[in-house]
Amino acid sequence: MDELIGEFITETNESLEELDVDLVNLEKDPNNRDLLSKIFRLMHTIKGTCGFLGLPRLEKLAHHAENVLGRFRDGDLEVTPPAVTLILESIDTVRFILEGIEQTGEEPTGDDSDIISRLDAVYEGRDVPAAAAADGKKGDNIKLIGDKIDHKDDEAAPSGFVSEEELEAVFAATEVLVNTNNTAAADDEDDDDDEIEVMAASAPASKAAGKGAANASEDGSAKKASIATQSLRVNVDVLENLMTMVSELVLTRNQLMQIMRQQNDSEFTAPLQRLNHVVSDLQDGVMKTRMQPIGNAWAKLPRIVRDISLELKKKVELHMHGQDTELDRQVLDMIKDPLTHMVRNSADHGIETPAEREAAGKPQTGKINLDAYHEGGHIIIEISDDGKGLSTKKIIDKAISNGLATADEIQDMSTQQIQQFIFHAGFSTAEKVTSVSGRGVGMDVVRTNIEKIGGSIELTSIEGKGSTFRIKIPLTLAIVSALVVEAGGERFAVPQLTVRELVMVSEKSDVKIEMIKGSPVYRLREQLLPLVYLNDVLKLKGYETQGAAKDAAEGDNVINLESKAASQNQYIIVTQIGAYMLGIIVDRVFDTEEIVVKPVARILREIEVFSGNTILGDGSVIMILDPAGIARATGKEEGSDVGAGVEQMEEQVHYDAREKTTLLLFRAGDRAPKAVPLALVSRLENVNIDSVEYANGQMLVQYRGQLMPLLPFSHAQQIPEQGNMPVLVFAEGKKSMGIIVDDIVDIIEEHVDVQMSGSDGVMGSAIIAGKATDVCDVTYYMNSVSNGWFDIQTSVGYDSDDVEGTSEHARRKILLVDDSPFFRNMLTPLLSVAGYRVTSVEGAAQALELCDKGEKFDLIVSDIEMPDMSGFEFAKKVKSEDSLWNNTPLVALTSHGAPSDLDKGHEVGFNKYILKFDRETLLDTLEETLSLSRR
Amino acid sequence: MCPANAQGIESSSSGSLDHVVGSANDFLTIYIAGQLFGIPVLQVQDVLGDLKVSRIPLAPPEVDGSLNLRGRIVTSINVRRCLGLGERESGKSMMSVVVEHEGELYSLTIDEVGDVLALKEDSYEKNPVTLDAKWRGVSLGIYRLDEELLIVLDVPKLINDLRI
């Protein structure tokens, strides 16, 4: 292709791209002369250049369009909405012809007589003929938007008018240039456009270039000339090459620095330091050349939204903020298409038709907001609309019909989890593929593209209110700072962006790595951090974990010895993956190094724990770890792609190692495991569904000659049609009730610390067997049984032969002192059910306060290990001569039954010692103690 | 990927060898477990002796690791393992042939490098049907030499087969 034509195409395409933004403004403000002048001049330039280059078709079209625009600009003709469409149409035709030229080097053959005749008709002042007139409806639409904007524009108008004469002057000057020097003129023209855009920017929607509008119009052409000489057009390949070379230079620098570190003092030290600085600066500088404002990726969006809204007869406004936010060109290229897709989606699927919007009580015009800003080393892009949001029902239907999930699974999912399905391949909830959407780019591709560059995408959507997508992407991909670590004798790099902190654990450390059923965890400042051994994840040989001996030394003696020695000091790399933290245990940590991330070979790309590889300063190749991949590989991030798991993990852990409770693990309703202290459960039964009867809306079974009410653990639970179902039986006196569960999983001994409060039936969540587990609130179910089956407050309703004993109980007051809310919550109902009146306090101090107030109790049950004041001290105080309570029996509650403790307990005045959760013994002991004390 | 006819490599093999038309019959010969193989010479970038290879955990067993060749990362593939042959006795040095595949460099670890031979088309034969299935998968056919038989190694296939 002729070099001149190539230049012409590049220039014209650029001008057209810029015009895209302005054209939408033209629609809002059809008689904006600045804009019209701009389009006029573009057409004029095209016409002139085409004549010079010998492109008759384009020249002819441009000529006729210029004629019409000339009259518009001079105000001879009123710009009507159909006329705007005609202008856009002619610009599109220009674009089409340009594309043809670009591909073949020649003008595509074709006939423009239709559009030319319509242009001529407008030029001659006739009505816009048929083709455009058919668009009358669209026109109304435009008018409405236009009207809305009009009054805002009034304030802005003065500056626009002031500059107009000057613009004309500049224009005239340019025209001369066009004739003399074609290419140079094109450049200048371009710069003029910029300036004009600045002035046009006073129109509300285009805030892009809102800098120094006043200056620009005053300084006039002199300034323009200087700008032209200040910027250069450089081929992208040149920059890319430069970047690659700088990357290599950085590596070589690193290599040299590494050598230097081993040699204490040499004459190279000083020059090397200087080299170091220069290279760093160079790196920064070159990086800057690659930075582009994100607005470049957005330029096409207003036009896209406009076209969609016309085609689908919707009213949509696109608001953009933060166009100036800069990011790496490479990153920009990667997100351009996903962004376009998402905005298109918002306009197409998100925003409703004006009628629907009105019915929903929203303004007719929908809004799409596009926001970009820096946050840490990342750029955040938010795309939000006030449309109809994601329809959970449609997603569910689609997910089931696509076989992505079963109805059962979906029942257990939160709305947020369900919404995540839209990121699955082949997922579109649009009932029909419109010409606008359904171009084969799904949200799965969007997510893949974003994740490919180390970014992440989050979605929040409220049905009826709208959706927001939040994209987080790194500023650059080229060079990252990484931590070099060793595990199993191999070195790996961990990108520093993902590293939150480093923790060293040695023999002498106060806090050690602890094991829960083979899974290591670490207490990091009141938080329980799940850990993985990198050796395990990577299946590196010759290594032994602390818990279970794995791959005992075979052959690899040397490494084994080494890693054993190294395991005295272990390092935990604390990484943050979304909202979730994971500690990666490595044998050694070396240093941080700047690395150039290179993609791994295609045949290895499926190994998810690596995000790339690199060459270190010493010339060796090492793999770059991807913490997110490691989390996925270890399954710790279960459900993180559905968001909920992460939130649970976020709440990590006030971890209380003192108490161990035997827990019954079961499942019911959703997938999350549930737990209930085994001591509270009387029996486990399998109840045949056929034996279930109903009375008073309550499920019942005949059980050991008594009626036993049954309750499902959760409402989401499905009661099987036939067969047996496992039931947890809770009994008190002769009364019992059953909770229906899906299945019994396990019985384990575990520390329990309820960290999140729950809702109905769930006391809260705790980490049990390494998983977030709901702890069942038995009281809730006992209260749920109708007719005051277990009447906890008054204990009425017991069998008549038991009334005496019960009423006796009811008079007895028990003070329960325990710091753990879990045990208070567990014991209070237990004792209440047994007929005692229970007062519970969370510490010895509060108990003594009650004592001072003169409260009296029949019995005091106290925990031993409590913060501030231990049970022993508390007992001493209670039993002291002057205490009001010195005759009140005291029962100690403890989780360990060490003989020494027993002795000490008796010494300080505890009448009895009971192990926690030994329910039968507890009740018996209380009864016994009380009857003893009565005598 | 077996050639459909015995006309010669240029006309019969698909894709991988098209760009070497003209000198497609020049082969770099290599030995693996005593068997002679040939790699079209234009695919060969480099021949290396022993180099330090970094292991890649979780990679397929055929992948030895990666190495640094003048600033480029090369993935090292153990051809013996690809062909289902045992390990070479330790102590003997290994050689590697570096090839480019889809813009990436791979080094094929083999026993020995022989010579560059120009082979005549009329000595070309399709794979014998009795050839070991694993070998048949990576063989583009056989050249009858005077003293021995040369198997044409289908390098792109060999590498693509390793994709996880």
| Domains of chain A by start residue, with CATH | 3-230 (1.20.120.160), 237-290 (1.10.287), 293-474 (3.30.565.10), 490-648 (2.40.50.180), 656-788 (2.40.50.180), 800-934 (3.40.50.2300)
pLDDT at A873 over 80: yes
The tally of CA atoms less than 13 A away on the side-chain side of residue A323 is 19
Q: Residue A833's pLDDT band (boundaries 50, 70, 90)?
A: low
The 3 state secondary structure assigned to A195-234 is HHHHHHCCCCCCCCCCCCHHHHHHHHHHHHHHHHHHCCCC
pLDDT at A533 over 50: yes
Phi and psi at residue A921, to the nearest 5°: -60, -40
> Average model confidence (pLDDT) for chain A?
71
- Whether residue B2 lies inside any domain: the answer is no
Output the pLDDT for position B20: 41
Residue B70 C-alpha, separation from nearest chain A C-alpha, in angstroms: 9
Domain total of chain B: 1
Interface test with A, best of B55, B70, B73, B102 (most A CBs within 10 A): B73
Contact of A585 with A532, CB cutoff 8 Å: yes
pLDDT digits (tens, 9 = 90+) for A147-195: 443 444 343 333 334 344 444 544 444 444 434 344 433 444 444 333 3
Output the pLDDT for position A376: 61
Output the pLDDT for position A588: 87
Task: List chain A residues with CB under 8 Å of B75.
Answer: 601, 603-604
**Region A366-394 average pLDDT:** 84
Output the pLDDT for position A769: 72
Output the pLDDT for position B98: 92
> Domain containing B24 — which CATH number?
2.40.50.180
Minimum mean pLDDT range among A116-125, A410-419, A554-563, A698-707: A554-563
Burial class (CB in 10 A: 0-12, 13-18, 19+), A633: middle
What is the Cα–Cα distance from A41 to A16, expressed in whole angstroms? 12
- Whether residue B59 lies inside any domain: the answer is yes
- Whether residue B143 lies inside any domain: the answer is yes
Residue B5 C-alpha, separation from nearest chain A C-alpha, in angstroms: 30
Output the pLDDT for position A292: 81
Task: List chain B residues with CB under 8 Å of A601.
Answer: 66, 73, 75, 104, 106
Question: Partners of A469 in the beta sheet?
Answer: A383, A459
A604 to B63: CB separation less than 8 angstroms, yes or no: yes
Contact of A893 with A846, CB cutoff 8 Å: no
- Whether residue B136 lies inside any domain: the answer is yes
Output the pLDDT for position A758: 62
Interface test with A, best of B54, B105, B108 (most A CBs within 10 A): B54
For B66, the closest of A248, A605, A621 (CB atoms) is: A621
Output the pLDDT for position A278: 92
What is the Cα–Cα distance from A149 to A20, expressed in whole angstroms? 18
pLDDT digits (tens, 9 = 90+) for A51-61: 777 788 888 88
- Whether residue B44 lies inside any domain: the answer is yes
For A607, the closest of B59, B102, B104 (CB atoms) is: B59
Output the pLDDT for position A581: 81
The pairing of beta strand B95-101 with beta strand B104-110: antiparallel
pLDDT digits (tens, 9 = 90+) for A248-301: 788 788 778 878 888 777 788 888 889 989 988 888 888 778 788 888 888 888
B60 in contact with A, Cβ within 8 Å = yes
Output the pLDDT for position A474: 72
Quick one: closest CA in A to B66, which residue? Answer: A621
Q: Write the CA distances from A116 to A49, A473, A582, A800, integer angstroms.
A: 19, 47, 66, 102
B75 to A598: CB separation less than 8 angstroms, yes or no: no
Q: What is the pTM of this model?
A: 0.42
Question: Partners of A838 in the beta sheet?
Answer: A814
Percent of chain A with pLDDT over 70: 72
pLDDT at A332 over 80: yes
Query: B43 lies in which domain range?
Result: 9-160
Minimum mean pLDDT range among A29-33, A334-338, A915-919: A915-919
Output the pLDDT for position A106: 78
Residue B137 C-alpha, separation from nearest chain A C-alpha, in angstroms: 17
Output the pLDDT for position A698: 79
Q: Residue A226's pLDDT band (boundaries 50, 70, 90)?
A: very low
For B59, the closest of A604, A614, A622 (CB atoms) is: A604
- Whether residue B132 lies inside any domain: the answer is yes
Contact of A734 with A706, CB cutoff 8 Å: yes
What is the Cα–Cα distance from A612 to A103, expressed in whole angstroms? 36
CA angle B21, B163, A422 (to 5 degrees): 120
pLDDT at A860 over 80: yes
**Region A608-623 average pLDDT:** 83
Q: How far does chain A reach from its first CA to its final CA, in angstroms?
A: 114
B52 in contact with A, Cβ within 8 Å = yes
A603 to B162: CB separation less than 8 angstroms, yes or no: yes
Give the number of A-B residue pairs with CB atoms closer than 8 Å: 65
What is the Cα–Cα distance from A869 to A878, expressed in whole angstroms? 12
Question: Partners of A378 in the beta sheet?
Answer: A375, A474
pLDDT at A632 over 80: no
What is the Cα–Cα distance from A101 to A5, expressed in whole angstroms? 8
Q: Which residues of chain B fall below pLDDT 50?
A: 1-23
Output the pLDDT for position A463: 83
ipTM: 0.78
Type of residue at A130: A
Output the pLDDT for position A164: 46
DSSP A108: P
